Structure 1
Amino acid sequence: MSDLDISVVICVYTEDRWEDILAAVSSVRTQSRPALETLLVVDHNPALLDRLTKEYKEFELSGEVRVFANAGPRGLSAGRNTGIAASRGEVIAFLDDDAVAERDWLRRFAEGYADPKVMAVGGRTMPIWASGRRPAWFPEEFDWVVGCTYKGLPPGRVRVRNVLGGNASFRRTAFDAAGGFATGIGRDGDKRPLGCEETELCIRLTRARPDAVLLIDDRAVIHHRVPDVREHFGYFRTRAYAEGLSKALVARSVGADKGLESERRYATRVLPAGVARGLRDAVLARPGGAGRAGAIVAGVLTAAGGYVVGSVRARKGGATFSVVEIEGDHTGRGGSHD
């Protein structure tokens, strides 16, 4: 197992998730392999910043938990970049603010870094449905819609094109080689649920470091809360459309060949198999079969529509993003909220 120090960055933006944030931090503090530090980066919310600073004041003195204001523009990418710059670990892990990590989460990440060529290790994200169970119509192939690991990803510890941002880790040298997360691609608070910033970064990383290995280990597990609003078809459709917009930006940045490499396999193999299973379940009178098949078709068409619109906007210059070079002294002195 690697003996590298691991910093954990949790980006937060709303007091509505107060209890979730506390649970996320608690899950990091009780890891079987302790984190060097947990950094909470607050996205342009002074009230939440003050509240978290008071909550973790005693831990901030020891450096175990530190609270920062996002030093860049509003959005998840800039928040992550702020956390990277302020962190001290040789590996930086990212955890969603509405998720809790299993006890061996960081241990599994650390094991992946025994190979010096490994630049990133991701894990498996399981949904916690607000209603207590998966909606019958919701296909597992589209669990990425709610920020979770989707059906079609290979099991075990496997090499991948990109890790998934809410449950991922990177060597610090990965950011030295490729820069930080691109702003203008990922989420911005409660606005349209864009994504793919980690995909763009990972492709950029492997271009800068052709020998880099990126892994997903499905034993590095977190449990991600899915609120009620995201269990409805309206959100499903909105998120699928936003994914299409995001993929267009990624393709603009790194080219369609790499930007859509994994998506081609997903669209031509995983999704048709999902439709076939749904239709079979419908014939056998199993609950939700027809709904799952229909949702897959609708999701594909909606994402494709978003991709077309995003591509047109990109050609017209209506969509912009930028890559940030990460700067920091890695001592934790820069950007902290006093």
Structure 2
Amino acid sequence: METKPEKIMISVVVCTYNRCDVLALCLDSLANQTLDKNLYEVIIVNNNSNDNTEEIIKKYIAKNNNFRAFIELEQGSSHAKNRGAKESNGEYLAFIDDDGKAFPDWIEKMKKFIDTHPDVCAFGGPYVGISSKYIPFWFPKDYGSWSLGNYEKKINFPKEWLSGSNMVFKKDIFWEVGGFDVKKGPIGKSFSYGEDTFLLYKLNNNRISIWYTPEVKIYHLTAEHKLAFNWIFKSGYNAGKVDEMIFNHKHSLFYYIILFKFHVFKYGIKLVDLKKFGENIYRLFHTLSYDVGMIVNKVKEKYEN
């Protein structure tokens, strides 16, 4: 085994589960970064994949001295991410999804931000959506992409947040707040959100500032199933359910029902704009699905108590 560099600044953690078809794109981008390879490492965590993931990982390990890989037997994205953090040698932890593709200077821009903002312990950047399939005309024009603008800033959480597919933490602070909550996030084939948002929530509660920088960019694959109509409901519903669970809003069930009706009116009236009819249909159903998710979690909370 190759000797590890004495001083690694950034550990990039890539967790994967049965996505061998996209993993190589991610690992290729990390193997071809502009930053000196002695300053960063790539930690790949295979979360019990049963496809060809392990074979692909071995190929990249053999070719890249700064790549290391582990198998995490506890199923779940949070378990895998925490395992990657535990195995890391860097002062900072950078997380990218296995369906992400880093810009060539992604880690170099990361280092530049760290050098100029040594007191910032949590930051992230935008992603640009890419898709091999045609995105339906009625989806928003920026569908699959995410950004908080063209200027770096301290974010106003929870009104603003970071994308879990492109975020960086100082490792000691990451562990100080407990890392990722293993009860949140996707587990195997089950779909869920929340592990990233809850980590930001814990940081914010500990008065740790969270920053956004537009320079630290990645591409992010818009999977084919996310172009289907039912994804609007599924993603919106889960986001609403998880947000209500994390933030535990003190609003009553009646408030959420009124909010739902308000959104029906707000977005429904926009449907008269035929030029944006499709896009407004998307926003209507996604918002209402989010509201339903919050209502369901509020009802569940009421009956459990």
TM range (shorter): 0.7 to 0.9
Match of 2:132 in 1: 130
Match of 1:329 in 2: none
- The Cα of 1:293 is off from its aligned counterpart by 0.9
Q: Is the 8 A contact 1:112 1:118 kept in 2?
A: no
Residue pairs, 1:136-285, within 5 angstroms: 136-140=137-141, 143=143, 146=144, 148-149=145-146, 153-160=148-155, 161=157, 162-192=161-191, 194-208=192-206, 210=207, 212-252=208-248, 280=273, 282=274
1:256–1:157 distance in 2 versus 1, CA, 3 Å? farther
Unaligned runs of 5+ in 1: 258-267, 319-338
1:294–1:26 distance in 2 versus 1, CA, 3 Å? same
The percentage of aligned residue pairs carrying the same residue is: 23
> 2-side partners of 1:222 and 1:276: how far apart?
36
What count of residue pairs does the alignment treat as equivalent? 279
Superimposed CA distance per residue, residues 239-270 of structure 1 (whole angstroms, 9 cap, x where no aligned partner): 11111111122123xx669xxxxxxxxxx9xx
1:304 alignment partner AA: D
Q: Is the 8 A contact 2:24 2:56 kept in 1?
A: no
> 2-side partners of 1:232 and 1:294: how far apart?
14
Superimposed CA distance per residue, residues 275-304 of structure 1 (whole angstroms, 9 cap, x where no aligned partner): 898754x2xxx4xx1011121111111111
1:203–1:4 distance in 2 versus 1, CA, 3 Å? farther
- The Cα of 1:196 is off from its aligned counterpart by 2.6
2:14 alignment partner AA: I
> 1-side partners of 2:302 and 2:84: how far apart?
32
1:158 alignment partner AA: K
Q: Is the 8 A contact 1:123 1:220 kept in 2?
A: yes
The Cα RMSD (Å) is: 2.8
- Whether 2:294 is the aligned partner of 1:294: answer no
> 2-side partners of 1:129 and 1:232: how far apart?
13
- The Cα of 1:71 is off from its aligned counterpart by 4.8
> 2-side partners of 1:278 and 1:173: how far apart?
49
> 2-side partners of 1:305 and 1:34: how far apart?
48
Match of 1:108 in 2: 109
Match of 1:98 in 2: 99
Superimposed CA distance per residue, residues 72-91 of structure 1 (whole angstroms, 9 cap, x where no aligned partner): 3x221111111111111111
SS in 2 for 1:92: strand
- The Cα of 1:56 is off from its aligned counterpart by 3.4
Match of 1:65 in 2: 67
- The Cα of 1:189 is off from its aligned counterpart by 3.1
Scaled by the length of structure 2, the TM-score of the pair is 0.81
1:207–1:47 distance in 2 versus 1, CA, 3 Å? same
Scaled by the length of structure 1, the TM-score of the pair is 0.74
Q: What stretches of structure 1 move > 6 A for 4+ residues in a row?
A: 274-278
State the structure with bigger RCO (CA 8 A, min sep 6), 1 or 2.
1
Match of 1:84 in 2: 85
1:4–1:118 distance in 2 versus 1, CA, 3 Å? farther
Q: Is the 8 A contact 1:137 1:295 kept in 2?
A: yes
1:311–1:53 distance in 2 versus 1, CA, 3 Å? same
> 2-side partners of 1:126 and 1:279: how far apart?
30
Q: Is the 8 A contact 1:185 1:195 kept in 2?
A: yes
